[in-house]
Amino acid sequence: MHDILQKEIALYEKRTPKSAEAHKRAEKRIPLGVASNYRGYDPYPIFVAEGHGSRLRDVDGNEYIDHNLCFGALMAGHGHPAVVKAVKWALDNGTTFGMPHGMEADLADEICARYPVEMVRFGSSGTEATMHCCRIARAATKRDKLLRFEGCYHGLHDSALVSVKPKAEDFGDIHAPNSVPGGMGVIKAVLDNVTVATFNDLKSVEHRFQQHPGQIAAVILEPIMMNVGICMPQAGFLEGLREICTKNGALLIFDEVKTGAKLGWGGASEYFGVKPDMIALAKSIGGGMPLAAFGASREVMDLIVQHKVFHGGTYNTNRVAMAAGLATFREVLTRENYAHVEKLGKKLEDGYRTIVKKSGLQAYVIRAGVNGALMLYPAEIKNYRDWMKIDVDLWRQFWFGMVNRGVLAMPYWWDEQWTISVQHTEADIERHLAAFEEVAPGLAKAQEERGAKFVGAAGH
């Protein structure tokens, strides 16, 4: 470990002894001491005491400007007053019934007004939403295979856990990547039915359709790959996928778990002007409550009406999540708030860019709606394999350096990005940039000293 990183981690440990203690205790009963693998990292994660607006306080009393925001699930920020009011009302009037209560149609109307779908069903997580999209697409086409992109993330069901973060030795040809299980326990039959292509490479998609004629039910993707930092679709890529799907009778599924709320009012389909056949939504639509939705045309969703595809769930449309979702769509994800966060996003992006330039750091800055990232690469990444080539310890220096200066610049892991909430202010952005101004020269220095030999395989 290089000098500056060692010093930053030592400082982190000095500032967070109660988190270390809490983690040690949790490890005894909980694998890795955390409830989701993404939350665990060395030496130990920060344990949170409370969150308000754009800020978090940890169990040691340190305060942070929060751009992690629960891996981007909190564009509302912590405890948005409209969400809190709605949730309190739900808590006082019955949280969950296993019976309809009227809010379902209200929220379905909100969703159908923004996204190009005619009917929706609800759930609690992004994993559920993409899982049901995949199954319905298989039913709608009477085909078994899915096509997905190396490096995209769609949650934790078996079909989603293929080629999420494959190691370089398992890659295969870049125009025909191998289907690589994302850990043990993913059944072989699933691997046989999930074929993989390369993001921004339409030829690799066409090749798969030629290889499996009449067998691919759907193409699923994040319209912006946001589990490798931020990887934008190149001009024509999404339009090309639309065309290939239509030509081959396959459905196009946009996994908008990240982009749906945060890219803009109408999500990626509006932003890019490309209409998918199905959409999966979660994270920021719930204002901090577990809420997900998936939708499609009336014709496709009719498979549920006809009892041909089964969908259920005890906690679906529980009134706490629905109240939070309605408040979020009506009072948080408003045109006015999108204008506010756009202004802050631009300020943060421009500020980062100026500092990068001044420091001589080999990096670029990219933004998509309220999300953005400092990308420690000399040139814009186009796919997962480009993303792999990063100096991970340099990124860790950035992350711990920012944390030690009171800014959670993004979630831990170099495949993530910052989120700005509607409760962030200009002053928050200025503090964020002041911290980066302090960290950047050390990054540039370490980058120069370490050179290219530390640029390596970044999977986790």
Binding site for ligand PLP (CB under 6 A): 71, 125-127, 130, 153-155, 222, 227, 255, 257-258, 282
CA gap 310, 198 in Å, rounded? 32
Choice among 66, 158, 201, 255 that is catalytic: 255
Closer to ligand PLP by Cβ: residue 410 or 443: 410
Closer to ligand PLP by Cβ: residue 222 or 391: 222
Q: Which residue is nearest to ligand PLP (CB)?
A: 126
- The nearest distance, CB 266 to ligand PLP, in angstroms, is 17
Closer to ligand PLP by Cβ: residue 153 or 209: 153
Sign of the alpha-carbon dihedral angle for 74, 371, 385, 444? negative
- Is residue 277 flagged as an active site residue? no
On whether the CB atoms of residues 131 and 160 are closer than 8 A, the answer is yes
Structure tokens belonging to residue 366: 């990219």
State phi, psi for 43 to the nearest 5 degrees.
-80, -25
Residue 78 CA to chain centroid, in angstroms?
18
- The nearest distance, CB 3 to ligand PLP, in angstroms, is 34
State phi, psi for 258 to the nearest 5 degrees.
-95, -45
On whether the CB atoms of residues 194 and 162 are closer than 8 A, the answer is yes
CA gap 10, 32 in Å, rounded? 21
Closer to ligand PLP by Cβ: residue 51 or 155: 155
State phi, psi for 399 to the nearest 5 degrees.
-65, -50
- The nearest distance, CB 459 to ligand PLP, in angstroms, is 16
Closer to ligand PLP by Cβ: residue 149 or 209: 149
Contacts of 66 (CB under 8 A, 6+ apart): 51, 54, 55, 56, 78, 408, 421
- Is residue 377 flagged as an active site residue? no
- The nearest distance, CB 368 to ligand PLP, in angstroms, is 13
Choice among 64, 153, 338, 412 that is catalytic: 153
CA gap 58, 19 in Å, rounded? 8
- Is residue 283 flagged as an active site residue? yes
Choice among 165, 262, 283, 382 that is catalytic: 283
Strand 145-149 to 194-197 pairing? parallel
- The nearest distance, CB 394 to ligand PLP, in angstroms, is 24
SS3 310: coil
Query: Which residues are part of the catalytic machinery?
Result: 153, 255, 283
